[in-house]
């Protein structure tokens, strides 16, 4: 069923049950929001999305107001703009002005709106931090509740996306604060470190610890790719600076997972640059010097010198490998060679391993860890 209404003088059709915010956005009207996120239940608590509805008393939060037949909505009146600006001033009155060093700078919805509405930082000003900075020992999630605007997106992301209910709201009035569990730390409150709360946080209250200080959002390249861990096939953006992976960000367009990721996908990427990465081909010394392979002694506490690694060029390593496989094939037949392909590698690589085994070597001895 459709509902006809007017937004800023323009006739608009909406679906019954839609909110004014959804209807307005669907038709290209800009209404600012902070606590609202399309993936989460609307709560109407930040009051940034207020609009005027003719004949209605007071301003309405567009995110929780359903469209009605004949409704006349104004999104940009003087009252509306003044109200939004005042809301922002109140939020900033209780917010540390640390944009210079804040991790969220450039990726902060509060900052963006303060700029859009040209908010003067209130003269009665910020009275100092009320909570410890970095208040939670979680190794992935940096918590600074001084920067929290009580939008509750973290609470809802945990309850509605992750369904873990770690975050909650404690106290009332000015003392209201977001807490993990009954005021404990995240892991004790059974946090799974999925980082959904960080992904939905509009400010610098929750940030990814691993990304702190490594680059401003606008300086990072984003490359959309598929996770390397499990078979669900989540997609996300790898954040890259100076040819280094420095983080992972949710990509809302990901077909399987949307914004959701797990702890390994979001925070398990630093193996990429681990110092133990192999970066040069190597072969055992006996292969270069022509001696016998020290079979049975490879795991000795002091293995024979012949078993030392020697770094070599790609040419040398590949020539040697080809020669050894060729000789084995000639001496013992194609089926004396076993090929282990990999469920971690790409489709193209698996096809090529299959082609290597079957076409080039002539064996069906190819398998991978599907059974394990």
Scan residues 215-274 and list those touching other proteins (CB under 8 A).
Answer: 221, 223-235, 238, 240, 243-245, 253, 255-257, 260-265, 267-274
Residues of this chain, 294-353, that bind other proteins according to CB under 8 A = 295-299, 309, 314, 317-326, 328, 331-332, 335-353
Residues of this chain, 175-194, that bind other proteins according to CB under 8 A = 187, 192-194
Of 29-37, 73-81, 113-121, 288-296, the window that binds other proteins (rule: CB under 8 A) is 288-296
Q: How far apart are CA 260 and CA 257, in angstroms?
A: 5
Maximal C-alpha separation, the chain: 95
In the complex, minimum distance from the CB of residue 34 to other proteins, in angstroms, rounded to a whole number: 24
Q: Which is nearer to other proteins, 115 or 309 (CB)?
A: 309
Find tokens 């730390």 and name the residue: 185
Q: According to the binding rule CB under 8 A, does residue 355 interact with other proteins?
A: yes
DSSP 8-state assignment for residue 237: E
Strand partners of residue 169: 178
Q: According to the binding rule CB under 8 A, does residue 93 interact with other proteins?
A: no
Residues binding other proteins: number (CB under 8 A): 118
In the complex, minimum distance from the CB of residue 284 to other proteins, in angstroms, rounded to a whole number: 5
Q: According to the binding rule CB under 8 A, does residue 17 interact with other proteins?
A: no
Q: Which is nearer to other proteins, 29 or 269 (CB)?
A: 269
The count of C-alpha atoms lying within 13 angstroms of the C-alpha of 252, restricted to the half-sphere facing its C-beta, is: 5
Q: Which is nearer to other proteins, 7 or 287 (CB)?
A: 287
Q: Which is nearer to other proteins, 87 or 193 (CB)?
A: 193
Q: Which of 56, 126, 131, 140 binds other proteins (CB under 8 A)?
A: 140
Q: According to the binding rule CB under 8 A, does residue 132 interact with other proteins?
A: no
Q: Which is nearer to other proteins, 146 or 162 (CB)?
A: 162
Q: Which is nearer to other proteins, 69 or 311 (CB)?
A: 311
Q: Which of 57, 43, 51 is nearest to 24 (CA)?
A: 51
Of 43-51, 74-82, 99-107, 154-162, the window that binds other proteins (rule: CB under 8 A) is 154-162
Q: Which is nearer to other proteins, 78 or 348 (CB)?
A: 348
And the tokens for 164? Answer: 């873990």
Residues of this chain, 198-217, that bind other proteins according to CB under 8 A = 209-210
- Report CA-CA distances (Å) from 183 to 171, 180, 245: 11, 5, 34
Please check whether residue 200 is in contact with residue 157, taking contact to mean a CB–CB distance below 8 angstroms. Answer: yes
The count of C-alpha atoms lying within 13 angstroms of the C-alpha of 117, restricted to the half-sphere facing its C-beta, is: 25
Q: 78-93 and 109-116 helices cross at what angle (nearest 10)? A: 130
Q: Which is nearer to other proteins, 113 or 194 (CB)?
A: 194
Q: According to the binding rule CB under 8 A, does residue 139 interact with other proteins?
A: yes
In the complex, minimum distance from the CB of residue 177 to other proteins, in angstroms, rounded to a whole number: 25
- Report CA-CA distances (Å) from 190 to 145, 201, 309: 19, 19, 45
Q: Which of 17, 21, 20 is nearest to 5 (CA)?
A: 20
Element of type H or E holding 51: strand 50-53
Element of type H or E holding 355: helix 347-355
Element of type H or E holding 24: helix 20-26
Q: According to the binding rule CB under 8 A, does residue 162 interact with other proteins?
A: yes
Q: Which of 35, 178, 180, 366 binds other proteins (CB under 8 A)?
A: 366
What DSSP string runs through 250-293? E-TT-TTTTT---HHHHH--GGGG-TT---S-EEEHHHHHT---
Q: Which is nearer to other proteins, 72 or 353 (CB)?
A: 353
């Amino acid at each position: 069923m459709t509902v006809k209404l007017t937004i800023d003088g323009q006739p608009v059709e909406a679906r019954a049950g839609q909110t004014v915010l959804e209807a307005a956005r669907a038709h290209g009207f800009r209404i600012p929001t902070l606590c609202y996120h399309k993936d989460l239940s609307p709560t109407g608590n930040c009051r940034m999305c207020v609009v005027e509805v003719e004949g209605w008393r007071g301003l309405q939060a567009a995110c929780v107001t359903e469209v009605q037949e004949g409704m006349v909505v104004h999104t940009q009146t003087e009252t509306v703009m003044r109200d939004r600006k005042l809301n922002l001033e109140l939020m900033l009155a209780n917010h540390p002005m640390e944009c210079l060093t804040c991790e969220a700078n450039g990726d902060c919805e509060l900052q963006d709106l303060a700029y859009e509405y040209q908010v003067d930082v209130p003269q009665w000003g910020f009275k100092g931090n009320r909570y410890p900075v970095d208040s939670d020992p979680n190794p992935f999630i940096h918590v600074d509740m001084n920067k929290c605007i009580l939008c509750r997106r973290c609470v809802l992301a945990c309850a509605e996306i992750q369904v873990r209910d770690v975050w909650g709201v404690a106290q009332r009035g000015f003392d209201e604060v977001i807490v993990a569990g009954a005021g404990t730390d995240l892991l004790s409150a059974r946090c799974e470190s999925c980082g959904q709360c960080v992904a939905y946080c509009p400010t610098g209250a929750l940030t990814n610890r691993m990304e702190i200080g490594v680059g401003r959002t606008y300086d990072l390249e984003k490359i959309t790719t598929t996770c390397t861990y499990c078979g669900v096939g989540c997609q996300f953006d790898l954040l890259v600076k100076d040819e280094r992976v420095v983080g992972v960000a949710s990509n809302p367009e990901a077909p399987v997972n949307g914004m959701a990721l797990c702890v390994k996908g979001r925070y398990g990427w630093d193996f990429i640059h681990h110092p133990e990465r192999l970066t040069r081909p190597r072969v055992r010394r006996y292969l270069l010097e022509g001696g016998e392979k020290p079979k049975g002694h490879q795991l000795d506490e002091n293995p024979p010198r012949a078993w030392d690694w020697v770094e070599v060029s790609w040419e040398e390593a590949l020539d040697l490998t080809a020669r050894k496989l060729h000789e084995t094939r000639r001496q013992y037949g194609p089926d004396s060679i076993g090929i282990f392909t990999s469920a971690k590698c790409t489709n193209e690589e698996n096809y090529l391993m299959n082609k290597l085994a079957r076409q080039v070597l002539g064996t069906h001895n190819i398998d991978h860890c599907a059974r394990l």
